[in-house]
Structure 1
Amino acid sequence: MVSEYSPSRRSLLKAASGLSAAVALGAGGVLATASAAHAVGDGFGLRVAERGENDPRMWYYRFETAEIGWKPAVNVLLPDDYHTSGRTYPVLYMLHGGGGDFIEFDRAGIRELTAGKPIIVVMPDGGKTGWYSNPVRSNVGPRNWENFHINQLIPWIDANFRTFAEYDGRAIGGFSMGGFGALKYTAKYYGHFASVSSYSGPASLRRDGGLVVHWANTTSALDLGGATVYGVPWDQRRVSADNPVERVESYRNKRIFMVAGTAPKTAFDWLNEPEVLAGQREFRGLLDRAGIPYEAHEDGGGHFFRTEFFRGDIDGIIGRLRKA
């Protein structure tokens, strides 16, 4: 395994903690913590259509929303002591990969991986091939995943759970398509997330003739009835807005964690990981030149969610965010 760690990260993050209050979300720059989730309800364009709150840690909701033409769901994983502590917690948003859904990380063992950790983990649907975007066009009704996550789900979570509704209270991560979504949301919505983690997520859309954009368009057509996320021809402004390597300054003063595989073994791996690895290396080079610290790992194997890296990453995330 090859690892990189930028030695100035610790000092810059310490400085960032003072800056982050200035970029926190909310009117007038003043944010109050959310009240306890006594009776989770509707709001922010979301109507709760189904709920499951019997498990002490993993709560489930399905919504009706004008932004999505079917009922997307979310798993909310609570800390062990959430119901007894009265404390307010930071939040990690975890975005699933292509072909996955809101229970992808539950299958991967996230309950055990976060046992005893003082953090809420929110795991929403993002469409089988939604690419965490509002598509240029859809032939099957609304599929505005970006609007759903940013404008509806985040404020709904903050209104219904005891969260720090601010920059220093939120992190985001994801696998594959979700790793891209995490990098994209972090850059486009600078004041939302203080930490970003990309597990085999593409960081460069235009390299190799725009191979990742072509892949996004081809796969998204399955969800969009033949339409595409970026359009044909491409909406170039939208590609640039979503492309991490074109948004390098937007990652300044944030904690950045990346991992990619170096040894594809299957045809599926070969379709994904070499492009992911090359794009992350390109991104790392640009971060180096900009003097922006990060933590990055290259690991043997192909395209899969690396739980052994998540174990260390979750502690780094909690260390960066406001303490419960």
Structure 2
Amino acid sequence: MGERRLSRRRLLKTAGGMTAAMALGGAGVVAAAAPASAAPGDGFGLRIVERNEGDPRMWFYRFATDAIGWNPGVNVLLPDGYHDSGSAYPVLYLFHGGGRGSDFIEFDRFGIRQLTAGKPVIVVMPDGGHAGWYSNPVGSNTGPRNWETFHINQLLPWVDANFRTHAEYDGRGVGGFSMGGFGALKYAAKYYGHFASVSSHSGPASLRRDSGLVVHWANATSAALDLGGATVYGAPLWDEARVSADNPVERIGSYRDKRVFLVAGTSPDPVNWFDTANETQVLAGQREFRARLGDAGIPHEWHEEPGGHVFRPGIFSRDLDGILGRLRPAG
């Protein structure tokens, strides 16, 4: 199975377009249907400050929002034939990993255009911060960094209001790599009515194991890269209720009646401490998560693959077929 390591190269940005609906579950925001020909506009707390709709598939937007202290971007990848079909499509929200070189363009670097060619799905790939952990942090010394608010309360209804989507539970899936895989698991459980499919590619699934190593990692990275010394979960004392609310292994019942897909590597690079530390913890946490899903009788698909903390395009292609099999078809 081919593997692709995280690149630190920056590419030119592109992305794009959208229609109508209701953000179910926690957010409870209703969006009125937009005409198929309408250009995406402002709304739901988002003001477009930059856009590029020149590519027929990949459209790009950057927003001003009170939820984030800078202007986050999003790539929207449209299916082949979107502009002429008149159909509504399922949507996959796809979240990037952490690190200084990671942002909403990450999956374009991974070849998402080729991986989705001919697939009837809209893929939405937003910024999530270098170490935002798909959370509203306990504190910030760098202005607002409320990624959870941006993604769930603002971006999701904005997408449904501006693109032709199936704006319903069976019309949405969520997935991600690394930190983004955690974000996908978190959102799928916490906002149960939003997503019928969830996929975690090398994403941690257990926050408290090994004396809370993932929580410590989230706090350390967010303090260094995003929050100016503040943390996602609080330090030295954690916000325990927040940890539990975000922890996949503590929310097992919230994965019932969803498609669940998990991937972890079994042989990280022994001379690369970052690769070893990451994927060793990911593998252990996913095994714990899988065991609890099994005990609860919740079906799930899992893969343990050779290699370490990398995105695996071949496994993603298999995942995408499963996502489309679970979600409401285009039409």
TM-score of the aligned structures, taking structure 1 as reference length: 0.90
What are the equivalent positions in structure 2 for 1:110-149 lying under 5 Å apart?
Answer: 110-149=112-151
Partner of 1:245: 249
User: Alpha-carbon deviation of 1:28?
Assistant: 10
Distance in 2 (alpha carbons) for counterparts of 1:82 and 1:121: 12
Partner of 1:164: 166
Q: Does 1:94 align with 2:100?
A: no
2:126 alignment partner AA:
P
Identity of matched residues, %: 74
Partner of 1:318: 324
2:320 alignment partner AA:
I
Question: What is the DSSP-based 3-state SS (H/G/I as helix, E as strand, rest coil) of the residue aligned with 2:71?
Answer: coil
- Which residue, out of 264, 273, 277, partners 1:271? 277
User: Alpha-carbon deviation of 1:267?
Assistant: 2.0
Distance in 1 (alpha carbons) for counterparts of 2:32 and 2:318: 30
> 1:264-321: CA deviations, max 9, x gaps?
1122211200000000000000000000000000000000111110111111101100
CA contact (8 A) 1:33 1:88 kept: no
Distance in 2 (alpha carbons) for counterparts of 1:246 and 1:34: 39
Distance in 2 (alpha carbons) for counterparts of 1:236 and 1:43: 34
Distance in 2 (alpha carbons) for counterparts of 1:37 and 1:212: 45
User: Alpha-carbon deviation of 1:36?
Assistant: 1.9
Distance in 1 (alpha carbons) for counterparts of 2:144 and 2:61: 20
Question: What is the DSSP-based 3-state SS (H/G/I as helix, E as strand, rest coil) of the residue aligned with 2:192?
Answer: coil
Moved more, 246-255 or 259-268: 259-268
Distance in 2 (alpha carbons) for counterparts of 1:90 and 1:292: 23
Aligned CA RMSD, in angstroms, stands at 1.9
Write 1 or 2 for the structure with the bigger share of helix: 1
User: Alpha-carbon deviation of 1:35?
Assistant: 3.9
- Which residue, out of 226, 230, 242, partners 2:229? 226
- Which residue, out of 199, 202, 205, partners 2:204? 202
Mark the runs of 5 or more structure 1 residues left unpaired by the alignment.
2-22
Distance in 1 (alpha carbons) for counterparts of 2:292 and 2:35: 41
2:76 alignment partner AA:
V
Q: Which runs of 4+ in 1 moved over 3 A?
A: 23-35
CA contact (8 A) 2:170 2:327 kept: yes
Partner of 1:11: none
Moved more, 66-75 or 268-277: 268-277
CA contact (8 A) 1:32 1:165 kept: no
Distance in 1 (alpha carbons) for counterparts of 2:287 and 2:27: 38
Partner of 1:261: 265
Partner of 1:174: 176
Partner of 1:70: 70
Aligned length: 303
TM-score of the aligned structures, taking structure 2 as reference length: 0.89
